[in-house]
Amino acid sequence: MNTARPAVHRAPVVAVPGLGLSGELSIRILDRLAGRSAVVLLPGFGLPAGRDAPRSPRDLAQLVLARLDDLGYGKAILLGHSASCQVVAHVAAQAPDRVESLVLIGPTTDPRARPWPRLLGRWLRTAVWERPGQIPVLLRDYRRTGLGAMARGMNSAREDRIDHTLAAVVPPVLILRGLHDRISPSRWAEELVTASQHGEAKTLPAGAHMVPFTHPVALAERIDAFLDHTAATRR
């Protein structure tokens, strides 16, 4: 996918789109990163999802591992956005030898926002900061995935504790969020850093939850800096 920039000596970056989203937003970031990259689509996360499709983050993690085998990637840097952060965290917990590092953008779900009314309230407080230009893209993606599939996927995500999962993750973790992201607030990001063994959190000076659409350059710069630093640390 990414051939515009020279390869670097690190594992390929593999992105899983957020719930209900296509791979388009992930590509906005990946095309600006150094080295190899790929997008992995899952039921509800880039692909339509029927009622019988796997939807728990733990089960979806197994599909990611199978796709890594298909791609021939023995080890990868995993990138998640929103609810897919929980999926890639489970991959790292289940198969630490397959994951070089994790990048989590706007990770969900803060247990304080677990009830649907609170979650919707955070979404509304975040939506006022989003750019209207992304609405046609989101509507297209949500229509393809289906609102029922998205609701079932979010129900599974709300039952999953990413903070507990990160406690078992050995590779380094970078957490990124937009300044106005109320779905993934700064306190929650810092709690995830505390829960992880080797984590750090960064807040962009602008943006909200959909920063892969609105601020891909700023995200790519911070991701490249993090990956370069972790690569240097391993040497």
Structure confidence by residue, pLDDT tens digits, 12-35: 999 999 999 999 999 999 999 988
Q: How far apart are CA 61 and CA 182, in angstroms?
A: 26
pLDDT of residue 30: 97
Residue 78 CB-half CA count within 13 A? 33
pLDDT of residue 186: 97
pLDDT above 70 as % of the chain? 96
pLDDT of residue 7: 44
Tell me what the mean pLDDT of segment 78-83 comes to.
98
pLDDT of residue 5: 47
**Residue 104 above 80 pLDDT?**
yes
Provide the CATH number for the domain around residue 190: 3.40.50.1820
Structure confidence by residue, pLDDT tens digits, 149-174: 898 999 999 999 999 999 999 999 99
Q: How far apart are CA 223 and CA 41, in angstroms?
A: 21
52: in domain:
yes
4: in domain:
no
**Residue 139 above 70 pLDDT?**
yes
pLDDT of residue 235: 64
199: in domain:
yes
Structure confidence by residue, pLDDT tens digits, 46-70: 998 888 888 899 999 999 999 999 9
> CA of 19: how far to CAs of 51, 57, 77, 86, 165, in Å?
15, 11, 20, 11, 19
75: in domain:
yes
126: in domain:
yes
234: in domain:
no
pLDDT of residue 4: 45
Mean of pLDDT over the chain: 92
Looking at the structure of the chain, the number of domains it has is: 1
**Residue 2 above 80 pLDDT?**
no
189: in domain:
yes
**Residue 142 above 70 pLDDT?**
yes
Range of the domain at 196: 13-229
**Residue 8 above 80 pLDDT?**
no
1: in domain:
no
